[in-house]
C-alpha cells in the first residue's frame, strides 16, 4: 500500500535528499583513475556520519557496505573492493542515508577519465530518460506513464531498459510501494497523487536488457556483459507536479 506523506514529512525527506545530493557531489569529485571503490565507500560513510545521519544500505538485507559501486557491465548493487578505477570505466554510484527516521536514496553514473562517444551517449541517454520520467510524475497520471516514457525514449536511442529491476516508494522504509518500472503502458498502474514520494531510477543497457547475478553475490550485471548506466532521483508529488528532493 502506498503511504501518502504529510507536508512536514516531505520537508524532512527534502532535507535528507539535499544532504545526500551534497555527499554525492563530493563523491563524484573523488572518483578518478587510480582510486579504489573501497576508498569511495569509506569516504561516503565518513561524510554521512559528518552530516549527523546514518547509512541506509549498510546492513540492509545483509549488504555490508555504505555505497554501491557498479563498474561497466554491473548495473546496480556492485560491492566496493580494491578494484582501482581505470581510464574509460563507467561507474555508477548509488547511496542512501537515514535522517530523523526517514530515508533518502539516489544514484549517478559517471565516466572515468576519457570515455568513448558511445559510453558518453549511454550516460546522457539514461540521465535524460530520468528527467523525462520525472516530468510524468504529476497528479492524474499513472505509474505506467512514467515507465512508458522512459522506455520509449531509451529505445529510440538504440538502448534497452533493464526490466527486472525498478524504482520504489520511500519514506520511513527504504523500499515502499509503489514499484516504479522503467517500462510499461500509458494510463496503467496506480494513479499518482499528491503526497506520494518515490524514487525513479532508469537502468539502461547498451545491449540486452537481461540480467544475471554478479560475482560478488550482491550486484546485478548485464547477461551479455554490455555496458550499463543508472541514474536515480527521489521525488515528491505535490499539487502542481513533481519536486526533486535529491538535488542541490
Which tens digits make up the pLDDT trace of 161-209? 999 999 999 999 999 999 999 999 999 999 999 999 999 999 999 999 9
pTM over 0.95: yes
Cα–Cα distance list, 84 to 39, 48, 65, 99, 223 (Å): 9, 23, 17, 31, 23
DSSP alpha helix (H) spans, 136-200: 143-156
Which tens digits make up the pLDDT trace of 218-239? 999 999 999 999 999 999 999 9
Exposure on the CB side of residue 214, measured as CA atoms within 13 A:
20
Which tens digits make up the pLDDT trace of 118-161? 999 999 999 999 999 999 999 999 999 999 999 999 999 999 99
Residue 212 burial (CB < 10 Å; 0-12/13-18/19+)?
middle
Residue whose C-alpha cell reads 541514474 in the numeric block: 231
Which tens digits make up the pLDDT trace of 59-88? 999 999 999 999 999 999 999 999 999 999
Residue 118's contacts (CB-CB under 8 Å, 6 or more residues apart) are 206
Which cell is 153 given?
525514449
Q: Which domains does the chain have, with CATH numbers?
A: 7-244 (3.90.230.10)
Amino acid at each position: 500500500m502506498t503511504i501518502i506523506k504529510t507536508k512536514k514529512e516531505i520537508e524532512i525527506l527534502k532535507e535528507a535528499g539535499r544532504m545526500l545530493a551534497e555527499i554525492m557531489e563530493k563523491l563524484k569529485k573523488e572518483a578518478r583513475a587510480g582510486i579504489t571503490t573501497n576508498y569511495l565507500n569509506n569516504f561516503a560513510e565518513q561524510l554521512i556520519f559528518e552530516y549527523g545521519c546514518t547509512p541506509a544500505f549498510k546492513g540492509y538485507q545483509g549488504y555490508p557496505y555504505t555505497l554501491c559501486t557498479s563498474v561497466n557491465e554491473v548495473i546496480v548493487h556492485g560491492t566496493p573492493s580494491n578494484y582501482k578505477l581505470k581510464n574509460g570505466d563507467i561507474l555508477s554510484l548509488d547511496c542512501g542515508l537515514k535522517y530523523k527516521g526517514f530515508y533518502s536514496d539516489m544514484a549517478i553514473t559517471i565516466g572515468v577519465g576519457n570515455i568513448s562517444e558511445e559510453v558518453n551517449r549511454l550516460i546522457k541517454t539514461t540521465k535524460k530518460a530520468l528527467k523525462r520520467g520525472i516530468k510524468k510524475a504529476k497528479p492524474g497520471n499513472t505509474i505506467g506513464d512514467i515507465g512508458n516514457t522512459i522506455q520509449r525514449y531509451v529505445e529510440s536511442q538504440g538502448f534497452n531498459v533493464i526490466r527486472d529491476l525498478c524504482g520504489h516508494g520511500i519514506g520511513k522504509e527504504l523500499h515502499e510501494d509503489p514499484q516504479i518500472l522503467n517500462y510499461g503502458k500509458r494510463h496503467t498502474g496506480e494513479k499518482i497523487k499528491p503526497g506520494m514520494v518515490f524514487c525513479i531510477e532508469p537502468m539502461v543497457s547498451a545491449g540486452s536488457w537481461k540480467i544475471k547475478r554478479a560475482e560478488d553475490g550482491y550486484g546485478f550485471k548485464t547477461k551479455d556483459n554490455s555496458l550499463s548506466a543508472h541514474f536515480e532521483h527521489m521525488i515528491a508529488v505535490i499539487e502542481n507536479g513533481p519536486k526533486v528532493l535529491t538535488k542541490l
